[in-house]
Amino acid sequence: MGFKFNNDRIYDIIAIGRACIDLNAAEYNRPMEETMTFSKYVGGSPANIAIGCSKLGLKVGFIGKIPDDQHGNFIKKYMADAGINTSNMVIDKEGHKAGLTFTEIKSPEECSILMYREKAADLYLNPSEVHEEYIKQAKVLLVSGTALAQSPSREAAIKAVGLARKNDVKVIFELDYRPYTWKSKEETAVYYSLIAEQADIVIGTRDEYDTMENLEEGMGENQKSVNFLFKHRPGLLVIKHGVEGSYAYTRAGDVFRGHAYKSRVLKTFGAGDSYASALLYALIRGKDIETALKFGSASAAIVVSKHSSSEAMPTVDEIEQLISENEKK
């Protein structure tokens, strides 16, 4: 069973949200306090997903705001070189800076991120900088939950969803909960449910669904989330459970399980973004949901074995090879 997209569009997917900088610990197995060297990559969940999709061969566009400085130049050039259309990446003229994410690799299982999101340029994307002419050229609009954290980026993202709905562009909501940018969990739940109810596909971890439902982490249940969201617009819900794998629920009542693949894990971050890019690639290319879950899991297994989130995004061949090696076992 697959998911139908509008095929007469220039872009397979347009993502809206942050394009930032990741500074990943270049020294492994030590706390950040003792880490002296970091490697720079483009980061930010929607940018990572856009890069992953482009590397898989999809035609990708991006809507966002980047700083008017060396980091902004780096982000724009990297994304353009990755094949992404950057015509709707607006340069901030008010002195806002790039969001920075430092990562810590204490052990393959114990990783964390430290985000600098104060006055990040992406949060200043204005609704007037979101254009219907651009959005209507896409099959899919990918909205990152973090874009809803503050105004005016919040209104920009809500406008984009409205334009997508008006122009029959499928809305994919990646919950992408980063507490650093939000004022309160109560507020997060309000905006998350508002957009999830209007989306065609929602993707998130079990904890992120708990946040959307305004529950303490660990208190939610997949079936209750599914019952709630299928009262609204979504046709497909994807709930991720880390190394335990993931589940996809369809409005028709089907449930599919995706298993995580064994990997030589270097760090855990990057799993979610690589998973989303390959899952969406597979769905957009008309593959069935079970195959899409395999694509997502295989892509994540590859990225957790590498140092970055964006640069490490795999090719279709690498993903297919990992899947077929596991099917021979």
Site residues for ligand ADP per CB under 6 A: 205, 240-243, 245-246, 258, 260-261, 263, 265, 268, 271-272, 275, 297, 300-301, 304
Q: How far is the CB of 131 from ligand ADP (least distance, A)?
A: 29
From the list ligand LHLMWEOZ, ligand ADP, none, which binds 243 (C-beta under 5 to 8 Å, kind-based)?
A: ligand ADP
Q: How far is the CB of 213 from ligand LHLMWEOZ (least distance, A)?
A: 20
Residue 300: left (phi > 0), alpha (psi -120 to 50), or beta?
Answer: alpha
Distance CA 275, CA 168 (A): 25
> Of the two residues 44 and 272, which places its CB atom closer to ligand ADP in the complex?
272
> Of the two residues 174 and 213, which places its CB atom closer to ligand ADP in the complex?
174
Looking at residues 248 to 277 of the shown chain, list those that interact with ligand LHLMWEOZ (rule: CB under 6 A): 269-273
**26 CB neighbour count, 10 Å cutoff:** 13
In the list 23, 309, 311, 313, the residue contacting ligand LHLMWEOZ (rule: CB under 6 A) is 309
Residue nearest to ligand ADP (CB): 272
Q: How far is the CB of 259 from ligand LHLMWEOZ (least distance, A)?
A: 18
Q: Which H, E and C letters describe the chain, residue by residue?
A: CCCCCCCCCCEEEEEECCCEEEEEECCCCCCHHHCCCEEEEEECHHHHHHHHHHHCCCCEEEEEEECCCHHHHHHHHHHHHCCCEEEEEEECCCCCECCEEEEEECCCCCEEEEEECCCEHHHHCCHHHCCHHHHCCEEEEEEEHHHHCCCCHHHHHHHHHHHHHHCCCEEEEECCCCHHHCCCHHHHHHHHHHHHHHCCEEEEEHHHHHHHCCCCCCCCCHHHHHHHHCCCCCCEEEEECHHHCEEEEECCCCEEEECCCCCCCCCCCCHHHHHHHHHHHHHHCCCCHHHHHHHHHHHHHHHCCCCCCCCCCCCHHHHHHHHHHHHHC
User: What separation in angstroms does the CA of 37 have from each of 30, 75, 104, 275?
Assistant: 12, 20, 11, 28
Count of residues touching ligand LHLMWEOZ (by CB under 6 A): 14
> Of the two residues 126 and 326, which places its CB atom closer to ligand ADP in the complex?
326
Residue nearest to ligand LHLMWEOZ (CB): 43
Distance CA 87, CA 123 (A): 18
Q: How far is the CB of 132 from ligand ADP (least distance, A)?
A: 31
101 binds ligand LHLMWEOZ (CB under 6 A): yes
311 binds ligand LHLMWEOZ (CB under 6 A): no
From the list ligand LHLMWEOZ, ligand ADP, none, which binds 52 (C-beta under 5 to 8 Å, kind-based)?
A: none
From the list ligand LHLMWEOZ, ligand ADP, none, which binds 220 (C-beta under 5 to 8 Å, kind-based)?
A: none
CB burial readout 168-191, b (16+ within 10 A) else e: ebbbbbbbbbbeebbeebeebbeb
> Of the two residues 88 and 205, which places its CB atom closer to ligand LHLMWEOZ in the complex?
205
From the list ligand ADP, ligand LHLMWEOZ, none, which binds 48 (C-beta under 5 to 8 Å, kind-based)?
A: ligand LHLMWEOZ
In the list 35, 48, 188, 225, the residue contacting ligand LHLMWEOZ (rule: CB under 6 A) is 48
79 binds ligand LHLMWEOZ (CB under 6 A): no
> Of the two residues 85 and 146, which places its CB atom closer to ligand ADP in the complex?
146
In the list 44, 52, 64, 72, the residue contacting ligand LHLMWEOZ (rule: CB under 6 A) is 44
- Per CB under 6 A, residues contacting ligand LHLMWEOZ are 20, 22, 43-45, 48, 101, 113, 269-273, 309
